[in-house]
Structure 1
Amino acid sequence: MTVYEVNFDGLVGPTHNYSGLSFGNVASKNNAKQIANPKKAALQGLEKMLAMTKLGLKQGILPPQVRPDTYTLRKLGFSGSDKDIITKAAKHAPQFLKACYSASSMWSANAATVSNSLDCYDGKVHFTPANLSNKLHRAIEAEQTSRTFKAIFKNNQYFTHHEPLPHHPLLGDEGAANHTRLANSHNEKGLSLFVYGEDALSDIKPRIYPARQTLAASEAIARAHGLSDADCLFVQQNPDVIDQGVFHNDVIAIGNENVLLYHEMAFYQSARAVDAINTKYQGDKPLHLIEVSSDYVSVEDAVSSYIFNSQLITLPNGTMAIVAPTECQNNDKVATYLATLCEASNPISQVIYFDLQQSMKNGGGPACLRLRVPLNELELSAVAPECLMDEVKYHTLTAWVEKHYRDAISEDDLADPSLLVESQTALDELSQILKLGSIYPFQMD
């Protein structure tokens, strides 16, 4: 049975803003306090989703979360109406208010780790929402993420849902941004490659920025999903590149089927890590391990252009394409490398560029915006149908964005209670468009 890699992109929420909340994410900090354009951000994302369908791929939609998150603000001691809470938090705890306004769930690569049913002991697709415990503005996402997944993938015959791991420093989990799968194809059993930033039992760790993914978390997810030891490999990310702004593995390496494109600085003790990948890979097709030298692309260029945070996709004709941000096109070294890559002897045949500047300025490229969900034909038929993209859905959602989103949001606008009302109104209508029932835990006044 054919297995499709369905990319579920996060739909950018109406409170998209630049608050600089993500320590360790260079773009997030550098663009803090700039004016954001939520409407443009959402439309850029929708255009990418539609383009993927026109390439012949299956494309899904993950709705944004409720923001501002007044539920969390109530737990932090604020009381009264939702509007009162916004006013009080803006005056007494603006940093908490910014965290509760963050639209970071748009980066659905961090939403969960998903395992192909071919790899799991029970023959089902497994989902573990990420706890994202390293950052408050992301840690508050896990409960809503779990509720959303259970609404979209609700048939227990095909899907197994796990609870997020406990919020603990030993169990930091950032989802699929640190997980990839290497195989002959999506239709065959594969090797799950988990990349972690820190092992609690080791002194090998970054010194400046935090390691967000732990070995213990990756191992726990593999156990819960019923992945066999023979089909899993745990590799440590190079702590030196974490300290240069590589906060997730997908900022320094990307894999798809029998191709792994990685920077020479991506892994700790790189030669040993690559040898382990070669040894564990069980596919019949040649495994293309493509190392990118610093002579061609420096770590600084990798972080600024997000070349590795591109999507590496298999097209219907069997060749592969890189879906890259225009920042790669505008970087001469990176653009030259990508052009050379497409001419070399490997499955990658073309680069497709997209303008995702609104996401990029907060530190998220094409791969951040999507969660890879491998689904066979029966599993795909069990997905909530309104959450699958087509041209009609694109026009419906575009009209919805045009109707509800602001052209500009500054940090000062977060103190305006009317933004809360606008966001709730928009999401209430969206839940009806996507036919997901009561996934949003608020009541309209």
Structure 2
Amino acid sequence: MADLHDAGRQPAGQDSRTAAFGPGRGGEAREFNFDGLVGPSHHHAGLASGNVASMRHGGTASNPRLAALQGLEKMLALHRRGIPQAILPPLVRPNLGFLRRLGFTGSDTAVLSAAAHADQRLLSTAYSASSMWVANAATVSPATDSADGKVHFTPANLSAKLHRSIEHPDTARLLRAIFSDPRHFVVHDAIPGAPALGDEGAANHTRLAASHGLAGVQLFIYGRETFDDDAAQQRFEARQYAEASRAVARLHDLDPARVVFGRQSAAAIDAGVFHNDVIAVGNLDTLFYHSAAFQDEATLIDTLARTCEASGFRLRPIRVDAGQVSLADAVSTYLFNSQLLQDPARRTLIVVPQECLAHAPSRRYLESLSAPGGPVAEVLSFDLRESMRNGGGPACLRLRVVLDAGQAAAIGANIFFSESLHATLVDWVKRNYRDRLLPQDLADASLLEEVRRALVELEDILALPGFYAER
């Protein structure tokens, strides 16, 4: 077995956005992993039907402090390995504007108390920390793929679930605050949140390329073609609609010859694959996927391979069949909700949750994947249990953004990861986060003040003035 281990302890790395490009690499584009910083109201409310882990742990106690520290530990370990990292902070919580639009009136504490008495799930929705899973924040296309030569972002409308459907206005504000230079970036509004236009962001999107700085092939995966197709008969509803994926491709002005659309299998969705990144992940020329991932696997892989070939590189598929890892085991361990990365030595790394190494079939498969001569040089595992209990693994916690040196330099916010930023955020979390939170605790007036105080301080740390102003 080659290098299967807990990745929490690695040698220190460099400490600036310039260092992320490496010596001698000039303006070559790099993929930055923008990781979601877990917010102080992280709790287990079981709001996400179709997400088996979220449903299973609804109503149990969460540990917001541990959740944030676990995420920061992963960021630090990858940063020290030379993987460019950045931060996407939590959104404003509680979302009192949402509750006021539902007719709750009075002071802020009165609104929270009334919502708790009317329907606890409404209060949980207003306090939801689900924006931590930033793979759902937006779909991103790098400048090399877009006709205007700019990086494009389309916030996901997340219309399938109430607690997530309220995120996109603030997500757009956040992206516009960070990617503010119109010479380099375009942040679109979310697609209209109609039932037949559900968009779940990068969790149903993969970009493949010979290198990050070259034009690539964009793979959009949807679960439902139209609102009235036979997917309505499934156990769990599909969240991504085909027309939403097509709309994003149009908005980003992508070359149709470099775009491929495919459909999730109904069996995967019913097994708990609410997003395609629970069953498939791609990076550069590699697509790592389960045989049950796609409705018409053979046609999709053939089309994708031919499109990649026409774009100047060869697709490297890594297919896992049910005899190696069952569909149920893939969902329970989040084997495919992993990060495929390339380190500065151009070795392929895979980042998995610790659950994968605790599960014998998944561990055996990872051992074979990383054996000498295998497609993966190293398997890194992290304890992300707090996120996993709510249904989000390593891939859910990051949004991939390809930037060249000029685009990175145009970002003024203090969001590029460093040793010093890590230390500051760890101190901030330890001072401001609770170590136990139940859904019923959300009505506590003191929690409101704790969260507000923490977010105002974070605004200063990340140099995002005014982002947490009352809305």
TM value normalised by structure 1: 0.98
Q: Unaligned regions of 5+ residues in structure 1, if any?
A: none
> Where does 1:103-118 land on structure 2 (aligned, <5 Å)?
103-118=129-144
Aligned-pair identity (%): 49
Cα contact 1:238–1:267 (8 A) shared by 2: yes
Q: Which residue of 1 aligns with 2:409?
A: 381
- Equivalent residue, structure 2, for 1:121: 147
Q: Find out whether 1:4 has 2:30 as its counterpart.
A: yes
Task: Tell whether the 8 Å contact from 2:40 to 2:433 is kept in structure 1 after alignment.
Answer: yes
Aligned to 2:177: 151
400-409 vs 197-206, which moves further: 197-206
Question: Which one-letter code corresponds to 2:262 in the other structure?
Answer: V
**Alpha-carbon distance, 1:286 to partner:** 3.1
Matching of residues 341-352 of structure 1 within 5 Å:
341-343=369-371, 345=373, 347-352=375-380
Structure 2 CA distance for aligned equivalents of residues 360 and 311 of structure 1: 15
The structural deviation recorded for 1:240 is 1.3
CA distance in 1, matches of 2:372, 2:57: 36
- Provide the C-alpha distance between the structure 2 equivalents of 1:231 and 1:265, rounded to a whole number of angstroms: 24
Cα offset, 1:284, TM superposition:
3.8
- What's 2:237 paired with? 210
Please say which of residues 350-359 and 198-207 is displaced more in the overlay.
198-207
* Equivalent residue in structure 1 for 2:212, among 180, 186, 203: 186
- Aligned partner of 2:456: which letter? D
Q: Which amino acid aligns with 1:397?
A: L
**Is 2:252 aligned against 1:225?**
yes
1:354–1:392 distance in 2 versus 1, CA, 3 Å: same
Partner of 1:437: 465
Q: 1:325 to 1:14 in 2, by over 3 A?
A: same
Partner of 1:172: 198
Show the counterpart of 1:237. Answer: 264
SS at match of 1:118: helix
* d(CA) in 1 for partners of 2:349, 2:428: 31
Equivalent position of 2:55 in the other structure:
29
8 A Cα contact 2:286 2:316, kept in partner: yes
CA-CA distance at 1:210 after TM superposition: 1.1
Q: Letter of the aligned partner of 1:431 in structure 2?
A: E
User: What is the SS of the residue equivalent to 1:192?
Assistant: strand
Residue 424 of structure 2 corresponds to residue 408 of structure 1: no
The whole-number CA distance in structure 1 between the counterparts of 2:136 and 2:391 is 13
Matched residue of 1:348: which SS?
A: coil
Deviation digits for residues 49-99 of structure 1, max 9, x if unmatched? Answer: 111110101111011112111110000000111111011111112221111
Match of 1:198 among 209, 215, 224: 224
Which residue identity is paired with 2:327? Answer: V
Q: Does 1:313 align with 2:341?
A: yes
* Coordinate RMSD, CA, aligned: 1.2
Q: Does 1:59 align with 2:110?
A: no
Q: How far is the alpha carbon of 1:310 from its aligned partner?
A: 0.7
How many Å separate the matches in 2 of 1:25 and 1:93? 21
In structure 1, distance between residues paired with 2:380 and 2:352 = 6
Distance 2:272 2:127 in 1: 24
Tell me by how many angstroms 1:327 deviates. 0.4
For the residues of structure 2 that align with 1:67 and 1:285, how far apart are their CA atoms? 44
Listed one character per residue, the Cα deviations across residues 295-327 of structure 1 (whole Å, up to 9, x for unaligned) are 011111111100100100111111110011000
1:92 aligns with 2:118: yes
Equivalent residue pairs, number: 443
Secondary structure of the 2:274 match is coil
Partner of 1:74: 100
- Equivalent position amino acid for 2:292 in 1: M
Given candidates 135, 141, 161, the residue that maps to 2:161 is 135
Q: Which moved more, 1:265-274 or 1:276-285?
A: 276-285
> 1:263 aligns to what?
290
2-structure distance, mates of 1:402, 1:249:
34
1:232-270 Cα deviation digits (max 9, x unpaired)? 000001111101100000000000000000000100011
Question: Any gaps of 5 or more consecutive residues in structure 2?
Answer: 1-26
- The CA distance in 2 between the partners of 1:201 and 1:305, in whole Å, is 31
Amino acid at match of 1:425: R
Tell me the alpha carbon deviations over residues 127-172 of structure 1, each in whole angstroms, 9 at most, x when there is no partner. 0000000011001110110000011111110001100011101110
| Partner Cα separation in structure 2 for residue 147 and residue 424 of structure 1 | 18
Note if contact 1:319-1:347 (Cα within 8 Å) is conserved in structure 2. Answer: no
Contact 1:196/1:213 (8 A) holds in 2:
yes
Aligned to 1:272: 299
